[in-house]
Structure 1
Amino acid sequence: MHVILEGYIVVSADELEVVQKALVEHTRLTRLEDGCLQFEVVQDVVNQYQFNVYEEFINQTAFELHQTRARQSRWGLLTKNVERHYQIR
């Protein structure tokens, strides 16, 4: 069964530029992961500090491996203070 994470993150004005730059590499690495079917993080057109997130993985194991890698990556370090608003199904 596929695992889908959907929602958004909110970054502070101080972190906006750093997050925008780091997102390029984070997206590239995530899309290369085994089991990643879709990964999109897009800056909101109305609120520049919000990034809409959609992730889809082939199963729970692939999703958990992604979560672990992301937390331990440069992205995880740079975004440790962002607000996360997700639903996982």
Structure 2
Amino acid sequence: MIELTGYIDVPEGRREAIAAALPLHVELTRAETGCVRFDVTPDPEVEGRYNVSELFTDRESFNAHQARVKASAWGEISAGIRREYSIRERNDFKK
């Protein structure tokens, strides 16, 4: 499994557009083949920060997700926004 964790810091002038686009992004991602978990939630302590937690069944599914996002409306709306992510392979995950 491939796990991504981290956050995206949305600048003040882009927060409205990101908040409006996020529900569809989450819905489309959760419907992707290989998506086990996809959560993007506002950070309770840092304004404009969204915490991100993703889990995909394998590298192929994760890479397909990344490619789809780059070509999507979300990819366009969120382009250039600062992100801090950690990606790792997990063999210990149980559903």
TM-score of the superposition, structure 1-length normalised?
0.97
Aligned residue for 2:13, secondary structure, equals coil
Q: What's the counterpart of residue 39 of structure 2?
A: 40
RMSD of aligned alpha carbons = 0.5
Q: What's the counterpart of residue 49 of structure 2?
A: 50
Q: What's the counterpart of residue 69 of structure 2?
A: 70
What residue identity is the alignment partner of 2:45?
V
Q: Which has the larger radius of gyration?
A: 2
The gaps in structure 1 that reach 5 residues or longer are none
Q: What's the counterpart of residue 24 of structure 2?
A: 25
Q: What's the counterpart of residue 61 of structure 1?
A: 60
Aligned residue for 1:14, secondary structure, equals helix
C-alpha displacement at 1:48, in angstroms?
A: 2.1
Q: What's the counterpart of residue 88 of structure 1?
A: 87
What residue identity is the alignment partner of 1:21?
A
